[in-house]
Structure 1
Amino acid sequence: MMGVMKSKEDDSKSSAVDAVDRLSTLLDRFHVRASLFHTGPLCGRTTFEAQPDRAFLHVLRRGRLQIEHPAGTGAPRCVVVEEPTLLLYPRAVPHAFVNPPREGSDFTCATLQFAGGDRNPIAAALPPLVQVPLDAIPGLRPALDLLFAETDQVRCGSRLLADRLFEVVLIQLLRWVIDHPQEVGVSSGLVMGLSDPRLARALVALHAAPQVDWTLARMAAEAGMSRSGFAEAFRNVTGTTPLAYLTDWRLTVASTLLQTGHPQKLVAAELGFSAASSLSRAFKQRFGVAPRAWLAAQQQPTL
């Protein structure tokens, strides 16, 4: 009887979270583009170099895999995978696949470009490597079946369709990670906040309308909590204060808008700053330089 009661409580919690779309606003602001680059076996040692703003999503379809990472990346030095698995590198992390020399292992792989690069809040909130068995994610198999059908033979539009299907697989993976953050090594930050039913309501509202005058009382009301209870829970779960998170979100969005050519005055108005000068001050405090100087640095080629 105790088990049944716990199950109902878990279902109720899950329904409360699912009632809020925790990903769409994030992905609207910070979209992700996938590009298929390999399908089939890999034998011996294959190295994937780190490049700025390039992430990877690998699908190990069958076989055994050993993964090696250099020291200092934050990822384990050596990982052994022995079942079909999704392997997401949300940031630029060098890695090497070591496969059996004869039969190899079967992969479908794509590079990912997260809008905003290292400033992308989704990519920044994840560990260097997210490793999840395919069978752990409900509903993933139909999308993978379509992906494999497109990658296993060349047909009109196959590459374009495969790219979009990779993005579907990524969204399904992110959805699962938000529901199971600790299983992939996430213990604080945005993902943990979105996994909490009450905090998620406030975060989604804040993400959707950063220009609103989000006082602590207003955020707490969105979450259905008292101000003190909300402030304490928010800090414990995300590792930062609500107002600091709000400022950080606004500046992260601002950096993306400025880089795509939006005038500073319009960006300030869209994100709730009283004037362009207020945005400039906050921007300099966060990034160390004023927006104009920051943009100039972003436009310089990487050596």
Structure 2
Amino acid sequence: MDRLSALLERFHVRASLFHTGPLCGRTTYEAQPDRAFLHVLRRGQLRIEHGVRKGVPRRMVVDEPTLLLYPRALHHSFINPPREGSDFTCATLQFAGGDRNPIVAALPPLLQVPLDAVPGLRPALDLLFAETDQVRCGSRLLADRLFEVVLIQLLRWVIDHPQAVGVSSGLVMGLSDPRLARALVALHGAPQDDWTLSKMAAVAGMSRSAFAEAFKTVTGTTPSAYLTDWRLTLASTLLRTGQPQKLVAAELGFSSGSSLSRAFRQRFGAAPREWLAAQV
């Protein structure tokens, strides 16, 4: 069962390499809306300082090759030895939908994962480092794509080990449960279908009551609320591309454009047209 592809096909992510090599002294990364970071500490010891943010330590030390993913805007500073420094390869990430991206919303503010913890990661990193360590035709573009491969491998590992990165509820926990994952993958792939509780439970291979209870316990929301939120998140992305409201409503299973508008106002506090005007 492929638990990631439907999410990533609906909500693309683009990586952009911006640094490779040693960093010496203090390097600060400012928090900017809808900009994420993926740092690969290849060698050396690193001290990190964060601004005040729930779920993130003010200071921490990393002393082994590690992936550091900041999925949302978060001010952070790296402090390295002043001369020899530590080796990094770093990229910014742009998740479609920004903080509304369901993957971004489901992750903690910082993921710290040793490179050796993720099976199969080393070959992709070897290719990435080979492209970033020397300039060849297409190296920058290929490095960007390889960073995206590394991110997908990391997300795959996180879904299989959610508690290792501090995830205890939400979408990631739902995808880590084999029964709930079957229902979630089906919802993600066909949001326009008539998803009754009975139909969702049948896909999961559970009774209605057991499914509803397990879904709420694991994800923190009800199946119907999750489905509505998923449809509205998709709607916000489609509307931003210029698709007409009526067509978006039909594509996502709303009975009419006005039905989408009512649900959209409840979720975002504004009708689609007003919301779109505020995004400019």
Aligned to 2:85: 104
- Find the partner of 2:224 among 243, 265, 280: 243
**2:214 counterpart of 1:229:** no
1:85-105: per-residue Cα shift (whole Å, max 9, x none)? 000000111100011112111
| Native 8 Å contact 1:39 1:152 kept in 2 | yes
Aligned to 1:212: 193
How many residues align? The count is: 280
- Find the partner of 1:266 among 230, 247, 271: 247
Report matched runs for 1:1-303 at 5 Å: 20-72=1-53, 74-299=55-280
The secondary structure found in structure 2 opposite 1:61 is: strand
For the residues of structure 2 that align with 1:201 and 1:174, how far apart are their CA atoms?
A: 18
1:201-257: per-residue Cα shift (whole Å, max 9, x none)? 000000000000100000000000000000000000000000000000000000000
The secondary structure found in structure 2 opposite 1:58 is: strand
1:247-286: per-residue Cα shift (whole Å, max 9, x none)? 0000000000001111000000000000000000000000
For the residues of structure 2 that align with 1:152 and 1:116, how far apart are their CA atoms?
A: 32
For the residues of structure 2 that align with 1:216 and 1:27, how far apart are their CA atoms?
A: 25
| Native 8 Å contact 1:73 1:93 kept in 2 | no
For the residues of structure 1 that align with 2:26 and 2:65, how far apart are their CA atoms?
A: 19
The secondary structure found in structure 2 opposite 1:143 is: helix
The secondary structure found in structure 2 opposite 1:218 is: helix
Using the TM superposition, give the Cα deviation of residue 173 of structure 1 relative to its aligned residue in structure 2, in angstroms: 0.1
Letter in 2 for 1:261: G
User: Structure 1 stretches (4+) deviating beyond 4 angstroms?
Assistant: none
TM-score in terms of structure 2 length: 0.99
| Native 8 Å contact 1:265 1:275 kept in 2 | yes
For the residues of structure 1 that align with 2:59 and 2:220, how far apart are their CA atoms?
A: 29
For the residues of structure 2 that align with 1:159 and 1:213, how far apart are their CA atoms?
A: 44
Using the TM superposition, give the Cα deviation of residue 73 of structure 1 relative to its aligned residue in structure 2, in angstroms: 5.3
The secondary structure found in structure 1 opposite 2:183 is: helix
For the residues of structure 1 that align with 2:220 and 2:49, how far apart are their CA atoms?
A: 30
For the residues of structure 2 that align with 1:276 and 1:262, how far apart are their CA atoms?
A: 12
For the residues of structure 2 that align with 1:234 and 1:127, how far apart are their CA atoms?
A: 20
Using the TM superposition, give the Cα deviation of residue 74 of structure 1 relative to its aligned residue in structure 2, in angstroms: 3.6
Give the RMSD, CA atoms, in angstroms: 0.6
| Native 8 Å contact 1:65 1:82 kept in 2 | yes
Aligned to 1:9: none
Letter in 2 for 1:197: P
For the residues of structure 2 that align with 1:22 and 1:196, how far apart are their CA atoms?
A: 11
1:40-59: per-residue Cα shift (whole Å, max 9, x none)? 00000000001111100000
Structure 1, gaps ≥5 residues long: 1-19
Letter in 1 for 2:237: T
